[in-house]
Protein backbone atom coordinates (compact mmCIF):
# COMPACT_ATOMS: atom_id res chain seq x y z
CA UNK A 1 0.00 0.00 0.00
CA UNK A 2 2.71 2.48 0.96
CA UNK A 3 4.76 1.59 -2.09
CA UNK A 4 1.83 2.31 -4.41
CA UNK A 5 1.15 5.54 -2.53
CA UNK A 6 4.72 6.78 -3.04
CA UNK A 7 4.58 5.74 -6.68
CA UNK A 8 1.42 7.84 -7.05
CA UNK A 9 3.14 10.88 -5.53
CA UNK A 10 6.08 10.42 -7.87
CA UNK A 11 3.76 10.16 -10.88
CA UNK A 12 2.00 13.41 -9.93
CA UNK A 13 5.38 15.10 -9.76
CA UNK A 14 6.42 13.71 -13.14
CA UNK A 15 3.17 14.99 -14.63
CA UNK A 16 3.99 18.54 -13.57
CA UNK A 17 2.25 18.81 -10.18
CA UNK A 18 3.79 19.71 -6.83
CA UNK A 19 2.31 17.65 -4.01
CA UNK A 20 1.95 19.98 -1.03
CA UNK A 21 0.36 17.47 1.34
CA UNK A 22 -0.93 13.93 0.96
CA UNK A 23 -2.30 11.01 2.93
CA UNK A 24 -4.33 7.98 1.91
CA UNK A 25 -7.55 10.06 1.73
CA UNK A 26 -6.60 13.62 0.76
CA UNK A 27 -4.06 15.29 -1.48
CA UNK A 28 -3.23 18.97 -1.97
CA UNK A 29 -1.59 19.62 -5.33
CA UNK A 30 -0.05 22.80 -6.74
CA UNK A 31 -0.29 22.97 -10.54
CA UNK A 32 1.55 26.31 -11.00
CA UNK A 33 -1.14 27.34 -13.49
CA UNK A 34 -2.21 30.98 -13.60
CA UNK A 35 -5.93 30.55 -14.30
CA UNK A 36 -8.67 28.23 -13.10
CA UNK A 37 -9.29 26.96 -16.65
CA UNK A 38 -5.64 25.97 -17.08
CA UNK A 39 -5.49 24.30 -13.66
CA UNK A 40 -8.69 22.34 -14.26
CA UNK A 41 -7.53 21.26 -17.70
CA UNK A 42 -4.19 20.11 -16.32
CA UNK A 43 -5.75 18.14 -13.45
CA UNK A 44 -8.15 16.41 -15.86
CA UNK A 45 -5.19 15.51 -18.05
CA UNK A 46 -3.30 14.08 -15.06
CA UNK A 47 -6.28 12.01 -13.88
CA UNK A 48 -6.88 10.63 -17.36
CA UNK A 49 -3.24 9.62 -17.60
CA UNK A 50 -3.36 7.86 -14.22
CA UNK A 51 -6.38 5.84 -15.32
CA UNK A 52 -4.36 4.43 -18.21
CA UNK A 53 -1.62 3.25 -15.83
CA UNK A 54 -2.21 -0.29 -14.60
CA UNK A 55 -0.89 0.46 -11.13
CA UNK A 56 -3.41 3.26 -10.52
CA UNK A 57 -6.44 2.27 -12.59
CA UNK A 58 -8.31 0.90 -9.57
CA UNK A 59 -7.88 4.11 -7.58
CA UNK A 60 -10.68 6.67 -7.39
CA UNK A 61 -9.31 10.18 -7.69
CA UNK A 62 -11.48 13.28 -8.11
CA UNK A 63 -10.88 16.99 -7.45
CA UNK A 64 -12.85 18.15 -4.40
CA UNK A 65 -11.99 21.87 -4.61
CA UNK A 66 -9.86 24.34 -6.53
CA UNK A 67 -8.12 27.20 -4.74
CA UNK A 68 -7.01 30.35 -6.52
CA UNK A 69 -4.64 30.97 -3.60
CA UNK A 70 -3.85 28.86 -0.55
CA UNK A 71 -1.72 29.59 2.50
CA UNK A 72 -0.97 26.11 3.81
CA UNK A 73 0.79 24.92 6.97
CA UNK A 74 -0.75 21.47 7.43
CA UNK A 75 -4.10 19.69 7.12
CA UNK A 76 -5.45 21.54 10.17
CA UNK A 77 -4.00 24.98 9.50
CA UNK A 78 -4.63 26.71 6.20
CA UNK A 79 -6.56 29.52 4.57
CA UNK A 80 -7.29 30.62 1.05
CA UNK A 81 -9.78 31.63 -1.61
CA UNK A 82 -11.84 28.90 -3.28
CA UNK A 83 -12.77 29.10 -6.93
CA UNK A 84 -16.30 28.08 -5.91
CA UNK A 85 -16.54 31.10 -3.58
CA UNK A 86 -14.05 33.76 -4.73
CA UNK A 87 -15.54 36.59 -2.66
CA UNK A 88 -14.32 35.46 0.76
CA UNK A 89 -11.29 34.02 2.51
CA UNK A 90 -11.87 30.57 4.01
CA UNK A 91 -9.98 30.11 7.29
CA UNK A 92 -9.16 26.89 9.08
CA UNK A 93 -6.55 27.50 11.75
CA UNK A 94 -6.39 25.05 14.62
CA UNK A 95 -3.45 27.02 15.99
CA UNK A 96 -5.84 29.90 16.78
CA UNK A 97 -7.35 27.84 19.59
CA UNK A 98 -3.97 27.84 21.32
CA UNK A 99 -3.54 31.63 21.16
CA UNK A 100 -4.75 34.08 23.83
CA UNK A 101 -8.40 34.96 23.26
CA UNK A 102 -7.67 38.66 22.65
CA UNK A 103 -5.29 37.81 19.76
CA UNK A 104 -7.41 35.24 17.92
CA UNK A 105 -9.47 37.66 15.83
CA UNK A 106 -6.36 39.70 15.06
CA UNK A 107 -4.59 36.58 13.76
CA UNK A 108 -7.49 35.69 11.47
CA UNK A 109 -7.73 39.27 10.25
CA UNK A 110 -4.01 39.54 9.41
CA UNK A 111 -3.86 36.19 7.59
CA UNK A 112 -6.95 37.07 5.56
CA UNK A 113 -5.50 40.48 4.71
CA UNK A 114 -2.23 38.87 3.59
CA UNK A 115 -4.06 36.40 1.33
CA UNK A 116 -6.21 39.14 -0.22
CA UNK A 117 -3.24 41.38 -0.95
CA UNK A 118 -1.26 38.60 -2.60
CA UNK A 119 -4.30 37.45 -4.56
CA UNK A 120 -4.98 40.94 -5.91
CA UNK A 121 -1.33 41.35 -6.84
CA UNK A 122 -1.37 38.06 -8.76
CA UNK A 123 -4.55 39.06 -10.57
CA UNK A 124 -2.90 42.32 -11.57
CA UNK A 125 0.12 40.43 -12.92
CA UNK A 126 -2.19 38.11 -14.82
CA UNK A 127 -3.96 41.01 -16.50
CA UNK A 128 -0.63 42.58 -17.43
CA UNK A 129 1.08 39.48 -18.79
CA UNK A 130 -1.86 37.61 -20.39
CA UNK A 131 -0.16 34.22 -20.21
CA UNK A 132 -1.16 31.69 -22.87
CA UNK A 133 0.87 28.62 -22.02
CA UNK A 134 -1.82 26.02 -21.35
CA UNK A 135 -1.25 23.97 -24.48
CA UNK A 136 2.52 24.32 -24.26
CA UNK A 137 2.60 23.10 -20.64
CA UNK A 138 0.43 20.10 -21.48
CA UNK A 139 2.70 19.22 -24.43
CA UNK A 140 5.73 19.40 -22.15
CA UNK A 141 4.03 17.11 -19.65
CA UNK A 142 3.26 14.61 -22.43
CA UNK A 143 6.91 14.69 -23.48
CA UNK A 144 7.92 14.03 -19.90
CA UNK A 145 5.64 10.97 -19.76
CA UNK A 146 7.15 9.50 -22.92
CA UNK A 147 10.62 10.07 -21.54
CA UNK A 148 9.72 8.32 -18.29
CA UNK A 149 9.01 5.03 -20.00
CA UNK A 150 12.65 3.98 -19.85
CA UNK A 151 14.64 2.35 -17.04
CA UNK A 152 14.27 3.13 -13.33
CA UNK A 153 17.67 4.86 -13.40
CA UNK A 154 16.29 7.58 -15.60
CA UNK A 155 13.31 8.05 -13.28
CA UNK A 156 15.70 8.55 -10.38
CA UNK A 157 17.63 11.16 -12.38
CA UNK A 158 14.43 13.02 -13.21
CA UNK A 159 13.35 12.93 -9.55
CA UNK A 160 16.67 14.32 -8.34
CA UNK A 161 16.65 17.00 -11.01
CA UNK A 162 13.14 18.15 -10.06
CA UNK A 163 14.15 18.34 -6.38
CA UNK A 164 17.10 20.57 -7.28
CA UNK A 165 14.91 22.85 -9.38
CA UNK A 166 12.29 23.18 -6.65
CA UNK A 167 14.93 24.29 -4.15
CA UNK A 168 16.11 27.28 -6.20
CA UNK A 169 13.00 28.26 -8.14
CA UNK A 170 11.27 31.51 -7.18
CA UNK A 171 7.62 32.29 -7.72
CA UNK A 172 6.65 35.26 -9.84
CA UNK A 173 5.32 37.11 -6.80
CA UNK A 174 8.30 36.24 -4.57
CA UNK A 175 9.70 39.78 -4.38
CA UNK A 176 6.29 41.31 -3.72
CA UNK A 177 5.53 38.83 -0.92
CA UNK A 178 8.95 39.40 0.67
CA UNK A 179 8.45 43.17 0.73
CA UNK A 180 4.88 42.78 1.95
CA UNK A 181 6.04 40.76 4.94
CA UNK A 182 9.11 42.81 5.85
CA UNK A 183 7.72 46.29 5.20
CA UNK A 184 4.04 45.94 6.08
CA UNK A 185 3.00 42.89 8.08
CA UNK A 186 6.06 42.83 10.32
CA UNK A 187 5.05 46.26 11.65
CA UNK A 188 1.41 45.24 12.07
CA UNK A 189 2.36 42.08 13.93
CA UNK A 190 4.79 44.02 16.13
CA UNK A 191 2.03 46.54 16.97
CA UNK A 192 -0.42 43.73 17.73
CA UNK A 193 2.04 42.00 20.05
CA UNK A 194 2.87 45.30 21.76
CA UNK A 195 -0.83 46.05 22.34
CA UNK A 196 -1.35 42.57 23.78
CA UNK A 197 1.59 42.96 26.17
CA UNK A 198 0.34 46.39 27.30
CA UNK A 199 -3.18 45.09 27.90
CA UNK A 200 -1.81 42.09 29.78
CA UNK A 201 0.34 44.34 31.96
CA UNK A 202 -2.59 46.67 32.69
CA UNK A 203 -4.78 43.72 33.66
CA UNK A 204 -2.14 42.41 36.05
CA UNK A 205 -1.73 45.86 37.64
CA UNK A 206 -5.51 46.18 38.01
CA UNK A 207 -5.74 42.75 39.62
CA UNK A 208 -2.96 43.64 42.06
CA UNK A 209 -4.78 46.85 43.00
CA UNK A 210 -8.03 44.97 43.56
CA UNK A 211 -6.31 42.39 45.76
CA UNK A 212 -4.63 45.14 47.80
CA UNK A 213 -7.93 46.98 48.27
CA UNK A 214 -9.61 43.79 49.52
CA UNK A 215 -6.80 43.14 51.96
CA UNK A 216 -7.11 46.68 53.37
CA UNK A 217 -10.88 46.32 53.70
CA UNK A 218 -10.48 43.05 55.58
CA UNK A 219 -7.95 44.61 57.92
CA UNK A 220 -10.15 47.61 58.72
CA UNK A 221 -13.18 45.38 59.15
CA UNK A 222 -11.30 43.19 61.60
CA UNK A 223 -10.30 46.22 63.72
CA UNK A 224 -13.84 47.62 63.70
CA UNK A 225 -15.21 44.32 64.95
CA UNK A 226 -12.74 44.28 67.83
CA UNK A 227 -13.63 47.85 68.76
CA UNK A 228 -17.33 46.98 68.90
CA UNK A 229 -16.57 43.89 70.93
CA UNK A 230 -14.67 45.83 73.58
CA UNK A 231 -17.34 48.49 73.78
CA UNK A 232 -20.01 45.87 74.46
CA UNK A 233 -17.83 44.04 77.03
CA UNK A 234 -19.19 44.86 80.53
CA UNK A 235 -15.69 44.62 81.99
Q: What is the mean pLDDT of residues 172-180?
A: 86
Residues 14/20/21/25 CA torsion (nearest 10 deg): -60
Strand partners, 22: 27
Neighbouring C-alpha atoms within 13 Å toward the C-beta of 38: 19
Tens-place pLDDT, residues 180-202: 999 888 888 888 888 888 877 76
Instruction: State the pLDDT confidence band at 206, using cuts at 50, 70 and 90.
Output: low
Distance from the first to the final alpha carbon of the chain = 95
pLDDT tens readout for residues 118-165: 999 999 988 887 655 444 545 554 555 555 554 445 444 444 443 444
Query: What is the pTM (predicted TM-score) of this model?
Result: 0.66
Nearest alpha-carbon partner for 79 in 27, 104, 115, 132: 115
What percent of the chain has a predicted confidence (pLDDT) above 70?
Answer: 68
Is residue 82 helix, strand or coil? strand
The sign of the dihedral angle between the CA atoms of 27, 31, 34, 39 is: negative
- Cα separation, 152 vs 108, whole angstroms: 46
* pLDDT at residue 170, rounded to an integer: 66
Query: Quick one: which of 81, 53, 85, 50 has its CA closest to 68?
Result: 81
Amino acid sequence: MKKNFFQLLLRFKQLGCNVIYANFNTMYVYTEKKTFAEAESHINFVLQNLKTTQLFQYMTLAPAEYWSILLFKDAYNFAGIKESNPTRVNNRWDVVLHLPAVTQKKFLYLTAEFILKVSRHNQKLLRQNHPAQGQQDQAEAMAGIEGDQSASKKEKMVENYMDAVDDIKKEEDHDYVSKLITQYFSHKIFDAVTDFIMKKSNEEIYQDDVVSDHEEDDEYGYEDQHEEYYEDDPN
